[in-house]
Amino acid sequence: MSTVNDPTADDFHIQVSSRDSNELATALAAWLPTVIASQAPPVVTAAGASDANGMSSETIAVQASWPGDDLPDARWILRMAPAAQDVPVFRQYRLDHQYEVMRLVGELTDVPVPTVVALEPTGDILGEPFFLMEECAGVVPPDVLPYTCGGNWLADAPVEQQRALQDATVRVIAGIHSVPAETCGFLNETMPQGDTDLRRQFVWLVDWYEFAAGDIGRSGLIDRAIEWLESNFPEDVAASESVVTWGDARIGNIMYEDFVPAAVLDWEMARVGPRETDVAWLIFAHMVFEEIATMLNMGGLPHLLREEDVRQTYRELTGVEVGDLRWFYVFASLQWCVVFMRTGARRVHFGEMEAPKEIEELFYHRPLIERLLSEGA
pLDDT of 15 higher than 50: no
pLDDT of 347 higher than 80: yes
- Judge whether 45 and 60 are in contact, CB under 8 Å: no
Q: How far is CA 306 from the centre of its chain?
A: 20
Give the model's pLDDT for residue 6: 47
Q: What is the pLDDT of residues 226-241, one digit of tens each?
A: 999 999 999 999 999 9
State which H helix or E strand residue 64 sits in: strand 58-65
Query: Where are the alpha helices (H) located in the chain, listed in sequence order?
Result: 21-31, 95-108, 159-177, 197-216, 220-231, 235-238, 276-295, 307-318, 326-349, 366-374
Residues 6+ apart with CB under 8 A from 223: none
Split at pLDDT 50, 70, 90, the class of 2 is: very low
Residues 6+ apart with CB under 8 A from 249: 173, 176, 277, 278, 279, 281, 282, 285
Q: Which of 47-61, 85-99, 265-279, 341-355 has the least mean pLDDT?
A: 47-61
* Surface-to-core class of residue 258, CB atoms within 10 Å of its CB (0-12 exposed, 13-18 middle, 19+ buried): exposed
Q: What is the pLDDT of residues 96-148, one digit of tens each?
A: 999 999 999 999 999 999 999 999 999 999 999 999 999 999 999 999 999 99
Split at pLDDT 50, 70, 90, the class of 38 is: confident
Split at pLDDT 50, 70, 90, the class of 52 is: very low
Closest CA to 334 of 230, 234, 190: 230
Q: What is the pLDDT of residues 177-214, one digit of tens each?
A: 999 999 999 999 999 999 999 999 999 999 999 999 99
Q: What is the pLDDT of residues 66-75, one digit of tens each?
A: 998 889 999 9
CA distance 359 to 16: 21
Query: Coil, helix or strand for 141?
Result: coil
- Mean pLDDT over the full length of the chain: 92
pLDDT of 282 higher than 50: yes
User: 2 or 139: which carries more pLDDT confidence?
Assistant: 139
Domains of the chain: 9-134 (3.30.200.20), 147-374 (3.90.1200.10)
Split at pLDDT 50, 70, 90, the class of 62 is: very high
- 197, 248, 266, 278: the catalytic one is 248
Query: Coil, helix or strand for 322?
Result: coil
Count other C-beta atoms under 10 Å from residue 351's C-beta.
9
Integer angstrom CA distances of residue 12 from 80, 286, 343, 359: 22, 16, 10, 17
Q: What is the pTM of this model?
A: 0.91
CA distance 5 to 22: 37
pLDDT of 7 higher than 80: no
State which H helix or E strand residue 239 sits in: none
Amino acid at 319: G
pLDDT of 55 higher than 80: no
pLDDT of 293 higher than 90: yes
Closest CA to 264 of 61, 123, 98, 45: 98
Query: Coil, helix or strand for 78?
Result: strand
248 catalytic? Reply is yes
pLDDT of 357 higher than 70: yes
Split at pLDDT 50, 70, 90, the class of 377 is: low
Give the model's pLDDT for residue 63: 97
Report helix angle 326-349 to 276-295, nearest 10.
Answer: 60
Integer angstrom CA distances of residue 127 from 28, 32, 81, 102, 218: 12, 16, 9, 23, 31
Average the pLDDT over 333-353 and give the result. Answer: 95
Give the model's pLDDT for residue 70: 87
What are the backbone dihedrals phi and psi of residue 138, each rounded to the nearest 5 degrees, phi first? 150, 180
Split at pLDDT 50, 70, 90, the class of 85 is: confident
Give the model's pLDDT for residue 83: 85
CA distance 169 to 310: 10
